[in-house]
Amino acid sequence: MELERALKISTNLIVDITMSVTVLKDYLYKSDLSKLHERALYRLCFTSIIMNCSKYVEFCDKYNKLLHTENPKLDSLRNTFKEKVKNKGIISFRNDYIGHIHSKKMQRPLDDIEIQDKFISIIDSDNVALFFDWLCPDDILNTDLTKSLVGVIQLTRDELEKSYNRVARGL
């Protein structure tokens, strides 16, 4: 059932983005990792963030009709965040950097500095904490959910869950 699939996908997006941000904050700000482990952790979590932000755009596109039917009041907010993901260059970063070791455009392998520089342009700040807060602020349930990507996905998921429960009860 389409509603059930959308509910599962939105739940996975929440969990995956939240955990990527949480792991980065917990391990990088509070731990004595070696430089190698620190770089590996950054790559792992940032790859997950990029992939899941891209999945959010795909989710909005694929389930647009269902999302609109279940709660049209969230359309504008969902679309605003979808456009923010696209405008930050996250989709092209996934396509051109995360998903490949060799750039078709540049006709050569990508190096770590190029990838890092491109990622910094996505963050649009020297302060990665601002980007983390845009994705998923600390104590998210006590924040304005309309101000973060995970918050918007949570609002969407909550509406899908209400509809799913009504359908499951035969209402």
In which band, very low, low, confident or very high, does the pLDDT at 58 lie, cut at 50, 70 and 90? very high
Q: What is the largest CA-CA distance in the chain?
A: 58
User: 130-166: per-residue pLDDT in tens?
Assistant: 999 999 999 999 999 999 999 999 999 999 999 999 8
Token look-up 């060799």 returns 102
Q: Which amino acid is at 104?
A: K
Looking from the CA of 66 toward its CB, the CA atoms found within 13 Å total 20
User: 71-89: per-residue pLDDT in tens?
Assistant: 999 999 999 999 999 999 9
More confident residue, 31 or 79: 79
For the chain, which residues make up each domain, given as ranges? Answer: 2-168
Task: Give the CATH fold of the 2-168 domain.
Answer: Four Helix Bundle (Hemerythrin (Met), subunit A) (1.20.120)
